[in-house]
Amino acid sequence: MNLPARWTSVELILQDVLYISYRLPADRVRPHLPSGISLATVGEDEVFVTALITRVERARLARLPSPRWSYAQVGIMTYVQPTEGTQPAVFCLRQGVTHARWARVLRWFGVPVDEVAVQIRAERTKRNEYTTFRVQGDWQGPFHVEARQVAPRLESLPPFPSGMDAVIYLVDALEGLYAANGRVYRVDMWHPRPQPRVGEVSRVEFPMLGRVLDLSPEEIVQPTVVLMAPRNHYLLHLPPRRRA
């Protein structure tokens, strides 16, 4: 695939991507954002927050010789108004990776990141349908997720006009934001539009969601929607830029 890489772009190949999303009143999420950042609200002043869990099959510089890293990644994000255009951006509230050296690279770019332990076990049929998606790890405390695929695509998700509109909002951001040292930084991304499947969870124990967003255990076990994708191809255009 020919990707619009820059000399400093980082290429990521993601395998077995799990998105666990919750629709919350915007007033519950706004206090966790820096001033000047506006949520991408939907419906009656609501916004989604998503826990992302994935295996990074390969991370490397896209245009220059570099080592290749493989690791697992977890993150908690919400959706905000973009710097440019109309498509929502993602704002990273917290993230962690299993690779200590890659964590140091991210910190060198000013990206806050935790070192975590994550194991992902995903099984698919010959038709590439997920029968099992199990996650266990430690992110300042143990967490566990068990899910399976229930539909090949998202047909609808209120309050979005269509399933595709929901997919664009939830998993198709082209801009990522994060806060560090009292400032907000922007990372531009490029990727083909994901085509996620729909899943359901039978177990979600994710204490970090409670710490970051004050979600109760009862809320955590009832996500609004669960999406999963076998493979995604991303470019992150580094270094991050300070958002004006």
pLDDT at 1: 39
Contacts 24+ apart (CB under 8 A), 176-180: 176/89, 176/90, 176/91, 176/92, 176/236, 177/37, 177/80, 177/89, 177/90, 177/91, 177/92, 177/243, 178/91, 178/92, 178/111, 178/112, 178/240, 179/34, 179/112, 180/110, 180/111, 180/112
CATH number of the domain to which 61 belongs: 2.40.400.10
Residue 110: its pLDDT value, please?
75
Distance set, CA 49 to CA 41, 77, 171 (Å): 11, 6, 11
Task: Give backbone dihedrals phi and psi of 92, rounded to 5 degrees, phi first.
Answer: -80, 115
Please write the tens of the pLDDT for every residue from 152-167. Answer: 999 999 999 999 999 9
pTM: 0.93
Contact 9, 66 (CB under 8 A): no
**51 closest CA partner among 181, 130, 163, 139:** 139
Q: Is residue 159 part of a domain?
A: yes
Indicate whether 35 belongs to any domain: yes
Would residue 2 count as lying in a domain? no
Q: How many domains does the chain have?
A: 1
Q: Where are the beta strands (DSSP E) in 31-161?
A: 46-61, 69-80, 89-97, 114-115, 117-124, 130-138, 142-151
Q: Is residue 244 part of a domain?
A: no
Cβ-contact 173, 87 below 8 angstroms: yes
127 in a structural domain = yes
pLDDT reported for residue 237: 86
Counting as low any pLDDT under 70, the low residues of the chain are: 1-7, 62
* Residue 3 placed within a domain: no
Question: Cβ distance 26 to 49 under 8 Å?
Answer: no
**Residue-wise pLDDT tens digits, 183-234:** 999 999 999 998 999 999 999 999 999 999 999 999 999 999 999 999 999 9
Does residue 138 sit within a domain? Answer: yes
What is the structure's pLDDT at 28?
Answer: 97
Distance separating alpha carbons of residues 58 and 243, to the nearest angstrom: 28
DSSP at 30: G
Taking alpha carbons only, the member of 21, 2, 24 closest to residue 154 is: 21
Q: 60-89 burial, b for 16+ CB within 10 Å, e for fewer?
A: ebbeeeeeebebbbbbbbbbbebeeeeebb
Residue 1 counted as domain residue? no
pLDDT of 243: 84
State both tokens at 145: 């997720």
d(CA 81, CA 201): 29
Domain span at residue 160 reads: 9-239
Q: What is the CA radius of gyration of the chain?
A: 17
Q: For position 238, what pLDDT does the model report?
A: 80
